[in-house]
Structure 1
Amino acid sequence: MVMTLPWNVKRRFTEAINTHDVQRVVEFFSPDAVFVSPSGVAEGREQIAWVYEQFFKGFPDFRLIPWYEVFDCDEPMVAEWTVTGTHTGPFLLPDGRVIEATGRRITIRGSCASFIENGKITTHREYFDQLELYTQLGLCLTEPSTVS
Protein backbone atom coordinates (compact mmCIF):
# COMPACT_ATOMS: atom_id res chain seq x y z
CA MET A 1 0.00 0.00 0.00
CA VAL A 2 1.40 3.40 -1.01
CA MET A 3 1.45 5.99 1.76
CA THR A 4 0.28 9.49 1.00
CA LEU A 5 2.30 12.51 2.10
CA PRO A 6 -0.06 13.25 5.02
CA TRP A 7 0.33 9.69 6.31
CA ASN A 8 4.10 10.00 6.04
CA VAL A 9 3.87 13.16 8.15
CA LYS A 10 1.73 11.36 10.73
CA ARG A 11 4.14 8.41 10.90
CA ARG A 12 7.19 10.69 11.38
CA PHE A 13 5.22 12.63 14.02
CA THR A 14 4.73 9.36 15.95
CA GLU A 15 8.46 8.65 15.69
CA ALA A 16 9.22 12.09 17.16
CA ILE A 17 6.82 11.43 20.03
CA ASN A 18 8.52 8.12 20.78
CA THR A 19 11.96 9.75 20.91
CA HIS A 20 10.56 12.45 23.23
CA ASP A 21 12.01 15.13 20.98
CA VAL A 22 9.61 17.96 21.84
CA GLN A 23 11.22 20.39 19.37
CA ARG A 24 10.81 17.86 16.55
CA VAL A 25 7.24 17.04 17.68
CA VAL A 26 6.12 20.67 17.43
CA GLU A 27 7.80 21.15 14.04
CA PHE A 28 5.11 18.84 12.63
CA PHE A 29 2.45 21.40 13.65
CA SER A 30 1.61 24.60 11.81
CA PRO A 31 2.41 27.71 13.89
CA ASP A 32 -1.30 28.27 14.65
CA ALA A 33 -2.22 24.60 15.11
CA VAL A 34 -4.82 23.44 17.62
CA PHE A 35 -4.34 20.35 19.79
CA VAL A 36 -7.46 19.04 21.54
CA SER A 37 -7.42 16.30 24.17
CA PRO A 38 -9.35 15.29 27.28
CA SER A 39 -6.85 17.40 29.23
CA GLY A 40 -7.81 20.57 27.36
CA VAL A 41 -7.04 22.66 24.29
CA ALA A 42 -3.56 23.86 23.32
CA GLU A 43 -3.17 26.51 20.63
CA GLY A 44 0.11 27.14 18.85
CA ARG A 45 3.43 25.36 19.04
CA GLU A 46 4.44 26.69 22.46
CA GLN A 47 1.31 25.38 24.19
CA ILE A 48 1.45 22.10 22.28
CA ALA A 49 5.10 21.62 23.33
CA TRP A 50 4.09 22.19 26.93
CA VAL A 51 1.44 19.42 26.74
CA TYR A 52 3.96 16.88 25.44
CA GLU A 53 6.55 17.99 28.01
CA GLN A 54 4.09 17.18 30.81
CA PHE A 55 3.58 13.64 29.55
CA PHE A 56 7.30 13.05 28.97
CA LYS A 57 8.17 14.35 32.47
CA GLY A 58 5.59 12.15 34.14
CA PHE A 59 6.29 9.11 31.98
CA PRO A 60 9.94 9.14 30.82
CA ASP A 61 9.39 5.83 28.98
CA PHE A 62 6.18 7.10 27.28
CA ARG A 63 5.58 5.09 24.10
CA LEU A 64 2.82 5.54 21.50
CA ILE A 65 1.96 2.42 19.51
CA PRO A 66 -0.46 2.92 16.62
CA TRP A 67 -2.32 -0.29 15.88
CA TYR A 68 -5.06 0.74 13.47
CA GLU A 69 -4.99 3.42 10.78
CA VAL A 70 -7.83 4.33 8.44
CA PHE A 71 -5.98 4.36 5.12
CA ASP A 72 -8.92 4.95 2.80
CA CYS A 73 -9.11 8.66 3.61
CA ASP A 74 -6.63 11.43 4.24
CA GLU A 75 -8.97 13.99 5.80
CA PRO A 76 -9.05 13.55 8.69
CA MET A 77 -6.46 10.89 9.24
CA VAL A 78 -7.76 8.61 11.97
CA ALA A 79 -5.74 6.17 14.03
CA GLU A 80 -6.22 4.08 17.13
CA TRP A 81 -3.29 3.63 19.46
CA THR A 82 -2.04 2.43 22.80
CA VAL A 83 0.21 4.46 25.09
CA THR A 84 2.40 2.74 27.64
CA GLY A 85 4.66 4.19 30.28
CA THR A 86 5.81 4.17 33.87
CA HIS A 87 4.86 7.05 36.14
CA THR A 88 8.28 7.96 37.53
CA GLY A 89 8.06 11.75 37.40
CA PRO A 90 5.60 14.50 38.35
CA PHE A 91 2.43 14.57 36.26
CA LEU A 92 0.22 17.64 36.04
CA LEU A 93 -3.55 17.12 36.20
CA PRO A 94 -5.96 19.41 34.32
CA ASP A 95 -7.06 21.01 37.62
CA GLY A 96 -3.48 22.13 38.37
CA ARG A 97 -2.62 19.45 40.94
CA VAL A 98 0.56 17.46 40.47
CA ILE A 99 0.71 13.71 41.05
CA GLU A 100 4.17 12.76 42.24
CA ALA A 101 5.71 9.57 40.87
CA THR A 102 3.82 6.40 41.79
CA GLY A 103 6.00 3.91 39.92
CA ARG A 104 2.85 2.49 38.33
CA ARG A 105 2.73 1.26 34.74
CA ILE A 106 -0.01 2.53 32.46
CA THR A 107 -1.53 1.19 29.28
CA ILE A 108 -4.07 3.59 27.78
CA ARG A 109 -6.10 3.03 24.63
CA GLY A 110 -7.12 5.97 22.51
CA SER A 111 -7.69 7.39 19.08
CA CYS A 112 -6.87 10.55 17.20
CA ALA A 113 -7.92 12.51 14.16
CA SER A 114 -5.44 14.77 12.39
CA PHE A 115 -5.89 17.38 9.70
CA ILE A 116 -2.77 18.16 7.64
CA GLU A 117 -2.26 20.98 5.18
CA ASN A 118 0.97 21.69 3.31
CA GLY A 119 2.80 19.01 5.28
CA LYS A 120 1.88 20.43 8.72
CA ILE A 121 -0.71 19.34 11.28
CA THR A 122 -3.31 22.10 11.62
CA THR A 123 -5.64 20.30 14.02
CA HIS A 124 -4.96 17.22 16.10
CA ARG A 125 -7.66 15.72 18.30
CA GLU A 126 -6.91 12.94 20.76
CA TYR A 127 -9.50 10.90 22.58
CA PHE A 128 -8.70 8.72 25.57
CA ASP A 129 -10.42 7.81 28.80
CA GLN A 130 -9.01 9.95 31.61
CA LEU A 131 -10.64 7.67 34.18
CA GLU A 132 -8.71 4.74 32.74
CA LEU A 133 -5.47 6.72 33.14
CA TYR A 134 -6.23 7.98 36.65
CA THR A 135 -7.36 4.55 37.88
CA GLN A 136 -4.10 3.02 36.67
CA LEU A 137 -2.24 5.73 38.59
CA GLY A 138 -4.09 4.70 41.74
CA LEU A 139 -6.47 7.65 41.92
CA CYS A 140 -10.10 7.12 42.76
CA LEU A 141 -13.30 9.09 42.42
CA THR A 142 -14.76 10.81 45.43
CA GLU A 143 -18.22 12.16 45.90
CA PRO A 144 -18.42 15.90 45.55
CA SER A 145 -18.89 17.72 48.82
CA THR A 146 -22.24 19.35 49.30
CA VAL A 147 -22.28 23.00 50.15
CA SER A 148 -25.13 24.13 52.38
Structure 2
Amino acid sequence: MSNFWDLKHKLGEAINAHDIQGVLDCYSPDAVYVAPTGIAEGHEQIAWFYEQWFQGFPDLHFTPWFELGDVDNPAVTEWTTTGTHTGPFLLPDGRVLEGTGRRITFRSTCSTFVEDGKIKTHREYFDQLEVYSQLGFGLKELDPGEALSSA
Protein backbone atom coordinates (compact mmCIF):
# COMPACT_ATOMS: atom_id res chain seq x y z
CA MET A 1 0.00 0.00 0.00
CA SER A 2 1.37 3.41 -0.96
CA ASN A 3 1.99 6.34 1.33
CA PHE A 4 -1.07 8.06 -0.22
CA TRP A 5 -3.33 5.32 1.10
CA ASP A 6 -1.51 5.18 4.43
CA LEU A 7 -2.22 8.91 4.83
CA LYS A 8 -5.87 8.46 3.80
CA HIS A 9 -6.30 5.65 6.34
CA LYS A 10 -4.63 7.79 9.02
CA LEU A 11 -7.13 10.57 8.24
CA GLY A 12 -10.05 8.15 8.55
CA GLU A 13 -8.78 6.91 11.91
CA ALA A 14 -8.35 10.47 13.20
CA ILE A 15 -11.87 11.41 12.06
CA ASN A 16 -13.38 8.38 13.78
CA ALA A 17 -11.42 9.19 16.95
CA HIS A 18 -12.59 12.84 16.71
CA ASP A 19 -8.93 13.79 16.99
CA ILE A 20 -8.67 17.29 15.52
CA GLN A 21 -4.88 17.41 15.82
CA GLY A 22 -4.63 13.99 14.18
CA VAL A 23 -6.83 15.23 11.34
CA LEU A 24 -4.72 18.37 10.89
CA ASP A 25 -1.50 16.32 10.92
CA CYS A 26 -2.73 14.78 7.66
CA TYR A 27 -3.23 18.15 5.93
CA SER A 28 -0.64 20.58 4.61
CA PRO A 29 -0.85 24.02 6.26
CA ASP A 30 -2.33 25.53 3.08
CA ALA A 31 -4.65 22.62 2.28
CA VAL A 32 -8.11 23.15 0.83
CA TYR A 33 -11.15 21.12 1.92
CA VAL A 34 -14.13 21.26 -0.44
CA ALA A 35 -17.55 19.92 0.58
CA PRO A 36 -21.18 20.56 -0.34
CA THR A 37 -21.42 22.75 2.76
CA GLY A 38 -18.52 24.99 1.78
CA ILE A 39 -14.79 25.43 1.32
CA ALA A 40 -12.23 25.49 4.13
CA GLU A 41 -8.70 26.76 3.51
CA GLY A 42 -5.83 26.13 5.90
CA HIS A 43 -5.65 24.36 9.24
CA GLU A 44 -7.82 26.81 11.20
CA GLN A 45 -10.80 26.58 8.83
CA ILE A 46 -10.42 22.83 8.30
CA ALA A 47 -10.37 22.28 12.09
CA TRP A 48 -13.50 24.42 12.46
CA PHE A 49 -15.30 22.36 9.79
CA TYR A 50 -14.56 19.05 11.52
CA GLU A 51 -15.38 20.52 14.95
CA GLN A 52 -18.88 21.42 13.73
CA TRP A 53 -19.54 17.80 12.77
CA PHE A 54 -17.97 16.36 15.94
CA GLN A 55 -19.94 18.75 18.15
CA GLY A 56 -23.27 18.02 16.46
CA PHE A 57 -22.67 14.27 16.16
CA PRO A 58 -20.48 13.05 19.06
CA ASP A 59 -20.65 9.49 17.70
CA LEU A 60 -19.91 10.47 14.09
CA HIS A 61 -18.25 7.56 12.31
CA PHE A 62 -17.01 7.05 8.76
CA THR A 63 -16.94 3.50 7.41
CA PRO A 64 -15.05 3.09 4.14
CA TRP A 65 -16.53 0.44 1.87
CA PHE A 66 -14.81 1.06 -1.45
CA GLU A 67 -11.36 2.32 -2.36
CA LEU A 68 -10.37 2.90 -5.95
CA GLY A 69 -7.33 0.69 -5.73
CA ASP A 70 -5.82 1.21 -9.17
CA VAL A 71 -4.78 4.80 -8.46
CA ASP A 72 -2.79 6.46 -5.72
CA ASN A 73 -3.23 10.17 -6.27
CA PRO A 74 -5.99 11.06 -5.88
CA ALA A 75 -6.96 8.43 -3.33
CA VAL A 76 -10.70 7.92 -3.90
CA THR A 77 -12.88 6.39 -1.20
CA GLU A 78 -16.60 5.79 -0.78
CA TRP A 79 -17.88 5.98 2.81
CA THR A 80 -20.99 5.48 4.83
CA THR A 81 -21.26 8.13 7.52
CA THR A 82 -23.37 7.56 10.63
CA GLY A 83 -24.07 9.55 13.76
CA THR A 84 -26.63 10.74 16.26
CA HIS A 85 -27.48 14.43 16.36
CA THR A 86 -27.22 15.27 20.05
CA GLY A 87 -25.27 18.53 20.00
CA PRO A 88 -25.58 21.89 18.28
CA PHE A 89 -25.00 21.75 14.52
CA LEU A 90 -24.50 24.74 12.24
CA LEU A 91 -26.88 24.73 9.27
CA PRO A 92 -25.93 26.16 5.85
CA ASP A 93 -28.16 29.21 6.42
CA GLY A 94 -26.27 30.15 9.61
CA ARG A 95 -28.83 28.87 12.12
CA VAL A 96 -27.78 26.41 14.81
CA LEU A 97 -29.87 23.27 15.13
CA GLU A 98 -29.86 22.00 18.70
CA GLY A 99 -29.67 18.24 19.21
CA THR A 100 -32.68 16.33 17.88
CA GLY A 101 -31.65 12.80 18.86
CA ARG A 102 -32.11 11.77 15.21
CA ARG A 103 -29.76 9.26 13.59
CA ILE A 104 -28.19 10.00 10.24
CA THR A 105 -26.76 7.59 7.72
CA PHE A 106 -25.52 8.83 4.38
CA ARG A 107 -23.16 7.83 1.62
CA SER A 108 -20.31 10.01 0.48
CA THR A 109 -17.25 9.83 -1.66
CA CYS A 110 -14.05 11.80 -1.52
CA SER A 111 -10.96 12.45 -3.58
CA THR A 112 -7.79 13.17 -1.66
CA PHE A 113 -4.84 14.76 -3.46
CA VAL A 114 -1.49 14.36 -1.71
CA GLU A 115 1.62 16.47 -2.22
CA ASP A 116 4.87 16.16 -0.26
CA GLY A 117 3.37 13.60 2.12
CA LYS A 118 0.37 15.74 3.19
CA ILE A 119 -3.16 16.25 1.90
CA LYS A 120 -3.18 19.28 -0.36
CA THR A 121 -6.82 19.07 -1.48
CA HIS A 122 -9.65 16.96 -0.09
CA ARG A 123 -12.95 16.98 -1.99
CA GLU A 124 -15.95 15.45 -0.26
CA TYR A 125 -19.21 14.75 -2.07
CA PHE A 126 -22.53 13.87 -0.42
CA ASP A 127 -26.21 14.61 -0.84
CA GLN A 128 -27.12 17.42 1.56
CA LEU A 129 -30.83 16.69 1.15
CA GLU A 130 -30.21 13.14 2.34
CA VAL A 131 -28.54 14.48 5.50
CA TYR A 132 -30.94 17.32 6.26
CA SER A 133 -34.09 15.30 5.59
CA GLN A 134 -32.91 12.84 8.25
CA LEU A 135 -32.64 15.81 10.62
CA GLY A 136 -36.27 16.75 9.92
CA PHE A 137 -35.94 19.16 7.02
CA GLY A 138 -37.52 18.80 3.58
CA LEU A 139 -37.76 20.62 0.32
CA LYS A 140 -39.54 23.95 0.32
CA GLU A 141 -41.46 25.10 -2.71
CA LEU A 142 -40.62 28.68 -3.56
CA ASP A 143 -43.38 31.02 -4.63
CA PRO A 144 -42.87 32.31 -8.20
CA GLY A 145 -41.85 35.82 -7.06
CA GLU A 146 -39.22 34.44 -4.69
CA ALA A 147 -37.76 32.20 -7.40
CA LEU A 148 -37.44 35.09 -9.85
CA SER A 149 -35.84 37.46 -7.39
CA SER A 150 -33.11 35.00 -6.46
CA ALA A 151 -32.18 34.18 -10.07
TM range (shorter): over 0.9
Q: How do 1:18-37 residues align onto structure 2 when only pairs under 5 Å count?
A: 18-37=16-35
Aligned sequence identity (%): 62
Indicate the residue corresponding to 1:54 in structure 2: 52
**Which 5+ residue runs of structure 2 have no aligned equivalent?**
none
Please list the CA deviations of residues 120-143 of structure 1 after superposition, one character each: whole Å capped at 9, or x if unmatched: 000000000000000111111212
Q: TM-score, normalised by structure 1?
A: 0.95
Letter of the structure 2 residue corresponding to residue 25 of structure 1:
V
Instruction: Give the structure with the larger helix fraction.
Output: 2
Shift of residue 7, structure 1, vs aligned partner: 0.3
Q: How do 1:55-134 residues align onto structure 2 when only pairs under 5 Å count?
A: 55-134=53-132
**Which 5+ residue runs of structure 1 have no aligned equivalent?**
none
> Counterparts of 1:141 and 1:121 in 2: how far apart (Å)?
35
Please list the CA deviations of residues 65-124 of structure 1 after superposition, one character each: whole Å capped at 9, or x if unmatched: 000001111121101000000000011012211111110000010100000112100000
Match of 2:11 among 2, 10, 13: 13
Letter of the structure 2 residue corresponding to residue 11 of structure 1:
H
Q: TM-score, normalised by structure 2?
A: 0.93
> Counterparts of 1:72 and 1:120 in 2: how far apart (Å)?
20
Please list the CA deviations of residues 24-72 of structure 1 after superposition, one character each: whole Å capped at 9, or x if unmatched: 1011100000000000000001000000000000000000000000111
Across the aligned residues of Structure 1 and Structure 2, the Cα RMSD in angstroms comes to 1.1
SS in structure 2 opposite 1:84?
strand
Shift of residue 144, structure 1, vs aligned partner: 2.5
